[in-house]
Structure 1
């Protein structure tokens, strides 16, 4: 898979994650029920949604970093050791910043 194909996949994942984050933000800002029992459940749900939102923001940052590296010409280089990240790893995780050895 070429860097252009990986770039297109990263751009699609970025758009998907941004849409997901917008949905999460919309869900978190909904008004809570007037019933105290329902409010307790809604607050627990809010915590889960917030955690998902944090994970989504981390994914967005990783994807954006990978896109920036493509633009800079450094995509596919391990941030830790400087070696090339294997093509199979990049196909599986296009936003990977570390080679398999450094990721362990």
Structure 2
């Protein structure tokens, strides 16, 4: 797959992740129910949403870094060892910054 196709996939992925984060943040901004038992459930839900927000934020960061590597002409090469990242790995995870060997080490 060419870098242009990876770039398009990464841009689409970034858009989806940013939309997901916006939805999570909207849900977190919702006021809690005054009923104490319902509020307890909502607070537990907030913990789960906050964990999801952290994960999505990390994915956004990885995706933006991959797009930056494309712009710099460094995409497709491991940031640790400099070896080429396999097409199969990039197709599965286009935001990958590490070849499979370095990923296994980490």
Distance 2:57 2:21 in 1: 7
Aligned runs of 1:73-84 on 2, under 5 Å? 73-84=73-84
RMSD: 0.4
State TM-score, norm by structure 2: 0.97
Query: 1:79: Cα distance to partner?
Result: 1.0
Moved beyond 3 Å, runs of 4+:
none
Point out where structure 2 has 5 or more consecutive residues left out of the alignment. none
How many residues were matched structurally?
A: 104
C-alpha deviation, 1:75, in angstroms: 0.3
- The aligned runs of 1:1-104 (5 Å cut-off) are 1-104=1-104
Question: For residues 21 and 57 of structure 2, what CA distance do their matches in structure 1 show?
Answer: 7
Distance in 1, matches of 2:81 and 2:66, equals 17
CA distance in 2, matches of 1:88, 1:41: 42
TM-score (norm 1): 0.99
For structure 1, list consecutive stretches of 5 or more residues without a partner in the other structure. Answer: none
